[in-house]
Amino acid sequence: MQVHTFIAESADEAVDQIRSQLGPEAVVLSVRKLPRSGVSRLLKKEQIEVVAGIEESTPTQTLDPIAQIQAEIRQLKEDLKRRRVPRAPVSPAKAEYQGEGGSSYPSAANQSAVPKPSSIAAFLVRTGLVPVFAERVVSEMAELDPLNQPLAAQIACVADALRRQWKGDTIRTEAGVHVFVGVPGVGKSTVLCKMVTQASLAEAQPAAIYQLDTLVTNNSPQPALFSEILGAHFERTLPSQFEWSEQSVFIDLPGIGLGDTRGREALARTIQAFGVPEIHLVLNAAYESAHLLEQVRFFSKLEISDLVITHLDEEQRWGKIWNLVLGTNYSVRFLSAGQNVPGEFFPATADAVLNRQFGSK
Protein backbone atom coordinates (compact mmCIF):
# COMPACT_ATOMS: atom_id res chain seq x y z
CA MET A 1 0.00 0.00 0.00
CA GLN A 2 1.21 3.50 -0.84
CA VAL A 3 0.87 5.75 2.23
CA HIS A 4 0.65 9.55 1.96
CA THR A 5 0.45 12.28 4.61
CA PHE A 6 -1.72 15.37 4.12
CA ILE A 7 -1.67 18.58 6.16
CA ALA A 8 -4.83 20.67 5.92
CA GLU A 9 -6.57 23.59 7.58
CA SER A 10 -9.87 21.73 7.85
CA ALA A 11 -11.44 18.31 7.39
CA ASP A 12 -13.05 19.38 4.10
CA GLU A 13 -9.71 20.50 2.72
CA ALA A 14 -8.11 17.18 3.76
CA VAL A 15 -10.85 15.19 2.02
CA ASP A 16 -10.42 17.28 -1.15
CA GLN A 17 -6.67 16.67 -1.16
CA ILE A 18 -7.07 12.92 -0.64
CA ARG A 19 -9.71 12.52 -3.34
CA SER A 20 -7.85 14.68 -5.89
CA GLN A 21 -4.43 13.08 -5.37
CA LEU A 22 -5.27 9.47 -4.52
CA GLY A 23 -8.76 9.05 -5.94
CA PRO A 24 -11.93 7.52 -4.46
CA GLU A 25 -10.24 4.21 -3.60
CA ALA A 26 -8.05 5.77 -0.90
CA VAL A 27 -8.63 4.84 2.73
CA VAL A 28 -7.99 7.03 5.76
CA LEU A 29 -5.53 5.37 8.14
CA SER A 30 -5.15 7.95 10.89
CA VAL A 31 -6.07 11.52 11.87
CA ARG A 32 -4.49 13.84 14.43
CA LYS A 33 -4.46 17.54 15.25
CA LEU A 34 -1.28 19.55 14.80
CA PRO A 35 -0.80 22.41 17.29
CA ARG A 36 0.44 25.70 15.87
CA SER A 37 3.38 27.57 17.34
CA GLY A 38 4.06 31.24 17.99
CA VAL A 39 1.54 33.96 17.18
CA SER A 40 -0.32 31.77 14.71
CA ARG A 41 -1.45 29.65 17.64
CA LEU A 42 -3.63 32.53 18.76
CA LEU A 43 -4.92 33.58 15.36
CA LYS A 44 -5.66 30.33 13.58
CA LYS A 45 -7.25 26.98 14.33
CA GLU A 46 -5.15 23.87 14.72
CA GLN A 47 -4.23 22.08 11.54
CA ILE A 48 -4.95 18.37 11.06
CA GLU A 49 -2.65 15.67 9.73
CA VAL A 50 -4.33 12.88 7.81
CA VAL A 51 -2.54 9.70 6.77
CA ALA A 52 -4.22 7.97 3.83
CA GLY A 53 -3.26 4.99 1.74
CA ILE A 54 -4.09 3.37 -1.56
CA GLU A 55 -3.35 -0.14 -2.73
CA GLU A 56 -0.54 -0.71 -5.22
CA SER A 57 -1.62 -1.13 -8.80
CA THR A 58 -0.13 -4.61 -8.87
CA PRO A 59 -2.61 -6.89 -7.12
CA THR A 60 -1.25 -8.68 -4.10
CA GLN A 61 -1.49 -12.41 -3.87
CA THR A 62 -4.34 -13.52 -1.63
CA LEU A 63 -5.46 -16.87 -0.39
CA ASP A 64 -8.40 -17.50 -2.72
CA PRO A 65 -9.68 -21.08 -2.40
CA ILE A 66 -11.57 -20.95 -5.71
CA ALA A 67 -8.47 -19.73 -7.59
CA GLN A 68 -6.39 -22.45 -5.92
CA ILE A 69 -8.87 -25.12 -6.93
CA GLN A 70 -9.02 -23.82 -10.50
CA ALA A 71 -5.22 -23.96 -10.65
CA GLU A 72 -5.34 -27.56 -9.43
CA ILE A 73 -7.87 -28.38 -12.15
CA ARG A 74 -5.63 -26.85 -14.81
CA GLN A 75 -2.70 -28.88 -13.52
CA LEU A 76 -4.84 -32.01 -13.52
CA LYS A 77 -5.85 -31.36 -17.14
CA GLU A 78 -2.19 -31.05 -18.14
CA ASP A 79 -1.31 -34.27 -16.33
CA LEU A 80 -4.13 -36.12 -18.02
CA LYS A 81 -3.14 -34.70 -21.40
CA ARG A 82 0.39 -36.01 -20.97
CA ARG A 83 -0.97 -39.42 -20.04
CA ARG A 84 -3.41 -39.29 -22.98
CA VAL A 85 -6.26 -40.47 -20.82
CA PRO A 86 -9.73 -39.79 -22.34
CA ARG A 87 -11.85 -37.69 -20.07
CA ALA A 88 -15.19 -35.94 -19.87
CA PRO A 89 -15.43 -32.19 -20.58
CA VAL A 90 -14.27 -30.09 -17.67
CA SER A 91 -16.20 -27.16 -16.19
CA PRO A 92 -13.53 -24.62 -15.19
CA ALA A 93 -15.67 -23.02 -12.49
CA LYS A 94 -16.07 -26.23 -10.46
CA ALA A 95 -13.68 -27.81 -8.03
CA GLU A 96 -12.52 -31.06 -6.56
CA TYR A 97 -13.28 -31.30 -2.85
CA GLN A 98 -11.80 -33.73 -0.38
CA GLY A 99 -14.54 -35.28 1.72
CA GLU A 100 -14.42 -36.48 5.28
CA GLY A 101 -12.53 -39.67 5.96
CA GLY A 102 -10.29 -39.19 2.93
CA SER A 103 -13.02 -39.77 0.32
CA SER A 104 -13.20 -37.37 -2.63
CA TYR A 105 -16.06 -35.70 -4.36
CA PRO A 106 -16.07 -36.15 -8.16
CA SER A 107 -13.04 -34.46 -9.70
CA ALA A 108 -12.89 -32.46 -12.90
CA ALA A 109 -11.64 -35.62 -14.61
CA ASN A 110 -14.69 -37.59 -13.46
CA GLN A 111 -17.64 -35.19 -13.54
CA SER A 112 -19.95 -38.01 -14.68
CA ALA A 113 -19.68 -39.72 -11.28
CA VAL A 114 -22.74 -39.32 -9.08
CA PRO A 115 -22.08 -38.70 -5.34
CA LYS A 116 -24.36 -40.01 -2.66
CA PRO A 117 -26.78 -37.55 -1.03
CA SER A 118 -24.65 -37.55 2.13
CA SER A 119 -21.68 -36.34 0.06
CA ILE A 120 -23.39 -33.13 -1.04
CA ALA A 121 -24.51 -32.54 2.57
CA ALA A 122 -20.92 -32.99 3.75
CA PHE A 123 -19.82 -30.59 1.03
CA LEU A 124 -22.24 -27.96 2.38
CA VAL A 125 -20.95 -28.49 5.92
CA ARG A 126 -17.42 -27.88 4.69
CA THR A 127 -18.50 -24.53 3.24
CA GLY A 128 -19.87 -23.46 6.64
CA LEU A 129 -23.46 -24.70 7.00
CA VAL A 130 -24.29 -26.56 10.19
CA PRO A 131 -25.40 -30.17 9.54
CA VAL A 132 -29.10 -29.61 10.31
CA PHE A 133 -29.35 -26.84 7.68
CA ALA A 134 -27.24 -28.79 5.19
CA GLU A 135 -29.65 -31.73 5.47
CA ARG A 136 -32.60 -29.36 5.06
CA VAL A 137 -31.17 -28.06 1.79
CA VAL A 138 -30.51 -31.61 0.56
CA SER A 139 -34.10 -32.60 1.38
CA GLU A 140 -35.35 -29.70 -0.77
CA MET A 141 -33.08 -30.87 -3.56
CA ALA A 142 -34.63 -34.34 -3.37
CA GLU A 143 -37.98 -32.86 -4.41
CA LEU A 144 -36.31 -31.67 -7.62
CA ASP A 145 -34.62 -35.06 -8.10
CA PRO A 146 -31.10 -33.73 -8.82
CA LEU A 147 -29.28 -36.39 -6.79
CA ASN A 148 -28.77 -38.56 -9.85
CA GLN A 149 -26.82 -35.72 -11.46
CA PRO A 150 -23.06 -34.97 -11.50
CA LEU A 151 -21.60 -32.82 -8.74
CA ALA A 152 -21.58 -29.69 -10.90
CA ALA A 153 -25.33 -29.99 -11.43
CA GLN A 154 -25.89 -30.66 -7.74
CA ILE A 155 -23.95 -27.52 -6.78
CA ALA A 156 -26.08 -25.47 -9.16
CA CYS A 157 -29.20 -26.98 -7.59
CA VAL A 158 -27.90 -26.22 -4.10
CA ALA A 159 -27.33 -22.60 -5.12
CA ASP A 160 -30.91 -22.33 -6.40
CA ALA A 161 -32.30 -23.91 -3.22
CA LEU A 162 -30.34 -21.50 -1.04
CA ARG A 163 -31.17 -18.49 -3.20
CA ARG A 164 -34.89 -19.15 -2.66
CA GLN A 165 -34.34 -18.91 1.11
CA TRP A 166 -32.76 -15.45 0.92
CA LYS A 167 -34.90 -12.85 2.64
CA GLY A 168 -35.80 -9.66 0.81
CA ASP A 169 -35.09 -6.04 1.65
CA THR A 170 -35.59 -4.93 5.21
CA ILE A 171 -38.27 -2.44 6.21
CA ARG A 172 -36.51 0.92 6.40
CA THR A 173 -37.62 3.91 8.42
CA GLU A 174 -38.25 7.21 6.69
CA ALA A 175 -36.06 9.05 9.18
CA GLY A 176 -32.88 7.16 8.31
CA VAL A 177 -31.79 6.71 11.92
CA HIS A 178 -29.31 3.85 12.37
CA VAL A 179 -28.38 2.17 15.67
CA PHE A 180 -25.61 -0.43 15.93
CA VAL A 181 -25.68 -3.08 18.66
CA GLY A 182 -23.75 -6.25 19.44
CA VAL A 183 -21.20 -7.81 21.73
CA PRO A 184 -17.87 -6.02 22.27
CA GLY A 185 -15.26 -6.22 19.54
CA VAL A 186 -17.45 -7.16 16.56
CA GLY A 187 -16.75 -3.91 14.66
CA LYS A 188 -19.82 -1.76 15.37
CA SER A 189 -17.91 1.54 15.26
CA THR A 190 -16.07 0.51 12.07
CA VAL A 191 -19.38 -0.36 10.38
CA LEU A 192 -20.82 2.98 11.50
CA CYS A 193 -17.86 4.87 10.01
CA LYS A 194 -18.16 2.95 6.75
CA MET A 195 -21.85 3.79 6.46
CA VAL A 196 -21.21 7.44 7.35
CA THR A 197 -18.50 7.62 4.68
CA GLN A 198 -20.91 6.29 2.07
CA ALA A 199 -23.62 8.72 3.11
CA SER A 200 -21.29 11.74 3.27
CA LEU A 201 -19.01 11.18 0.28
CA ALA A 202 -20.68 8.78 -2.13
CA GLU A 203 -24.28 9.92 -1.59
CA ALA A 204 -23.51 13.53 -0.53
CA GLN A 205 -25.93 13.35 2.40
CA PRO A 206 -25.48 15.31 5.64
CA ALA A 207 -24.91 13.10 8.67
CA ALA A 208 -24.98 13.29 12.45
CA ILE A 209 -23.21 10.89 14.81
CA TYR A 210 -24.11 10.22 18.43
CA GLN A 211 -21.50 8.30 20.41
CA LEU A 212 -23.20 7.41 23.68
CA ASP A 213 -22.45 5.63 26.94
CA THR A 214 -24.84 3.31 28.74
CA LEU A 215 -23.85 1.31 31.82
CA VAL A 216 -20.32 1.22 30.39
CA THR A 217 -18.22 3.87 28.69
CA ASN A 218 -18.00 3.95 24.90
CA ASN A 219 -14.31 4.62 24.28
CA SER A 220 -14.01 4.00 20.53
CA PRO A 221 -12.01 6.85 18.91
CA GLN A 222 -13.28 6.22 15.38
CA PRO A 223 -16.64 8.06 15.33
CA ALA A 224 -15.13 11.37 16.52
CA LEU A 225 -12.21 11.17 14.10
CA PHE A 226 -14.27 10.38 11.04
CA SER A 227 -16.99 12.87 11.89
CA GLU A 228 -14.29 15.57 11.84
CA ILE A 229 -12.85 14.31 8.56
CA LEU A 230 -16.27 14.08 6.89
CA GLY A 231 -17.74 17.20 8.41
CA ALA A 232 -20.51 15.29 10.19
CA HIS A 233 -22.23 16.67 13.27
CA PHE A 234 -20.94 14.86 16.37
CA GLU A 235 -22.48 14.52 19.83
CA ARG A 236 -21.42 12.67 22.98
CA THR A 237 -24.65 13.22 24.93
CA LEU A 238 -28.19 11.98 24.51
CA PRO A 239 -30.49 14.68 23.08
CA SER A 240 -33.12 15.96 25.50
CA GLN A 241 -35.66 15.80 22.68
CA PHE A 242 -34.64 14.15 19.43
CA GLU A 243 -36.03 15.62 16.20
CA TRP A 244 -35.02 14.30 12.81
CA SER A 245 -34.09 17.04 10.32
CA GLU A 246 -33.41 15.66 6.84
CA GLN A 247 -30.10 14.00 7.68
CA SER A 248 -28.83 10.48 8.26
CA VAL A 249 -28.31 9.81 11.97
CA PHE A 250 -25.86 7.18 13.22
CA ILE A 251 -25.80 6.07 16.86
CA ASP A 252 -22.74 4.30 18.27
CA LEU A 253 -23.40 2.33 21.48
CA PRO A 254 -21.00 0.27 23.61
CA GLY A 255 -21.06 -3.50 23.21
CA ILE A 256 -22.60 -5.67 25.91
CA GLY A 257 -21.72 -9.24 26.78
CA LEU A 258 -24.00 -12.13 25.91
CA GLY A 259 -26.42 -12.63 28.80
CA ASP A 260 -26.02 -9.10 30.20
CA THR A 261 -29.74 -8.34 30.57
CA ARG A 262 -29.12 -5.12 32.55
CA GLY A 263 -26.88 -3.86 29.76
CA ARG A 264 -29.53 -4.78 27.19
CA GLU A 265 -32.20 -2.88 29.14
CA ALA A 266 -29.92 0.17 29.23
CA LEU A 267 -29.48 -0.07 25.45
CA ALA A 268 -33.24 -0.26 25.00
CA ARG A 269 -33.80 2.90 27.07
CA THR A 270 -31.20 4.80 25.05
CA ILE A 271 -32.64 3.62 21.74
CA GLN A 272 -36.14 4.76 22.73
CA ALA A 273 -34.92 8.37 22.77
CA PHE A 274 -34.54 8.19 18.97
CA GLY A 275 -38.08 7.11 18.15
CA VAL A 276 -38.25 4.03 15.90
CA PRO A 277 -34.79 3.70 14.33
CA GLU A 278 -33.30 0.91 12.27
CA ILE A 279 -31.43 -1.34 14.70
CA HIS A 280 -28.56 -3.23 13.07
CA LEU A 281 -27.15 -6.24 14.93
CA VAL A 282 -23.45 -6.51 14.08
CA LEU A 283 -22.00 -10.05 14.06
CA ASN A 284 -18.40 -11.24 13.68
CA ALA A 285 -18.25 -13.90 10.94
CA ALA A 286 -15.22 -15.53 12.57
CA TYR A 287 -17.34 -16.69 15.54
CA GLU A 288 -18.81 -20.19 15.51
CA SER A 289 -22.32 -20.45 14.09
CA ALA A 290 -23.90 -21.62 17.36
CA HIS A 291 -22.51 -18.55 19.12
CA LEU A 292 -23.77 -16.23 16.35
CA LEU A 293 -27.28 -17.70 16.57
CA GLU A 294 -27.21 -17.28 20.35
CA GLN A 295 -26.31 -13.60 19.90
CA VAL A 296 -29.26 -13.13 17.55
CA ARG A 297 -31.61 -14.69 20.11
CA PHE A 298 -30.26 -12.49 22.89
CA PHE A 299 -30.43 -9.19 20.99
CA SER A 300 -33.81 -9.95 19.37
CA LYS A 301 -35.40 -8.41 22.49
CA LEU A 302 -34.30 -5.03 21.08
CA GLU A 303 -36.50 -5.53 17.98
CA ILE A 304 -33.52 -5.52 15.63
CA SER A 305 -34.15 -4.70 11.97
CA ASP A 306 -31.43 -6.72 10.25
CA LEU A 307 -27.95 -8.23 10.52
CA VAL A 308 -24.55 -6.84 9.48
CA ILE A 309 -21.76 -9.41 9.05
CA THR A 310 -18.18 -8.24 9.71
CA HIS A 311 -14.64 -9.69 9.76
CA LEU A 312 -15.29 -11.60 6.53
CA ASP A 313 -11.60 -11.17 5.70
CA GLU A 314 -10.91 -13.55 8.60
CA GLU A 315 -13.41 -16.25 7.58
CA GLN A 316 -13.31 -18.14 4.28
CA ARG A 317 -16.38 -20.27 5.01
CA TRP A 318 -18.96 -17.83 3.75
CA GLY A 319 -21.54 -20.61 3.88
CA LYS A 320 -21.86 -19.77 7.60
CA ILE A 321 -23.97 -16.77 6.56
CA TRP A 322 -26.72 -19.15 5.47
CA ASN A 323 -27.05 -20.40 9.06
CA LEU A 324 -28.23 -16.90 9.96
CA VAL A 325 -30.60 -16.80 6.97
CA LEU A 326 -32.07 -20.25 7.65
CA GLY A 327 -31.98 -20.08 11.44
CA THR A 328 -33.45 -16.61 12.10
CA ASN A 329 -36.27 -14.37 10.90
CA TYR A 330 -33.88 -11.55 9.98
CA SER A 331 -32.36 -10.52 6.69
CA VAL A 332 -28.64 -9.88 6.23
CA ARG A 333 -28.25 -6.19 5.25
CA PHE A 334 -24.51 -5.57 4.78
CA LEU A 335 -21.25 -7.50 4.45
CA SER A 336 -18.01 -5.99 5.74
CA ALA A 337 -14.35 -7.00 5.62
CA GLY A 338 -11.27 -5.30 7.08
CA GLN A 339 -10.77 -2.38 9.43
CA ASN A 340 -10.02 0.34 6.87
CA VAL A 341 -12.66 2.96 6.09
CA PRO A 342 -14.39 2.94 3.67
CA GLY A 343 -12.78 -0.43 2.83
CA GLU A 344 -14.89 -3.43 1.83
CA PHE A 345 -18.51 -2.72 2.70
CA PHE A 346 -21.37 -3.62 0.40
CA PRO A 347 -25.04 -4.68 0.45
CA ALA A 348 -25.57 -8.36 1.15
CA THR A 349 -27.13 -10.44 -1.63
CA ALA A 350 -27.59 -14.16 -2.13
CA ASP A 351 -25.28 -14.15 -5.15
CA ALA A 352 -22.54 -12.28 -3.29
CA VAL A 353 -22.50 -15.05 -0.69
CA LEU A 354 -22.83 -17.91 -3.18
CA ASN A 355 -20.02 -16.60 -5.37
CA ARG A 356 -17.63 -16.66 -2.43
CA GLN A 357 -19.03 -19.91 -1.06
CA PHE A 358 -18.44 -22.12 -4.10
CA GLY A 359 -18.21 -20.04 -7.23
CA SER A 360 -21.88 -20.05 -8.27
CA LYS A 361 -22.89 -17.65 -11.01
Q: pTM for the full model? A: 0.68
Residue 345: exposed, middle, or buried by beta-carbon count in 10 A (0-12, 13-18, 19+)? buried
In sequence order, what are the residues at sequence separation of 6 or more whose Cβ sits closer than 8 angstroms to the Cβ of residue 264? Answer: 256, 298, 299, 301, 302
Mean pLDDT of all residues in the chain?
A: 76
Question: What pLDDT score was predicted for residue 142?
Answer: 59
Euclidean distance between CA atoms 286 and 115, whole angstroms? 30
For residue 244, what pLDDT is reported? 67
pLDDT recorded at residue 90? 32
Nearest-CA neighbor of 279 among 129, 123, 131, 171? 171
Would you state the pLDDT for residue 13? 78
Spans of the chain, pLDDT less than 70 = 1, 12, 24-25, 29-31, 35-45, 55-118, 142-148, 169-175, 201-204, 244-246, 359-361
Instruction: Determine the straight-line distance between the first and last CA of the chain, rounded to whole angstroms.
Output: 31
pLDDT for 191 equals 93
For 266-316, the pLDDT digits (tens) are 999 999 988 889 999 999 999 999 999 999 999 999 999 999 999 999 998
Q: One-letter amino acid identity for 209? A: I
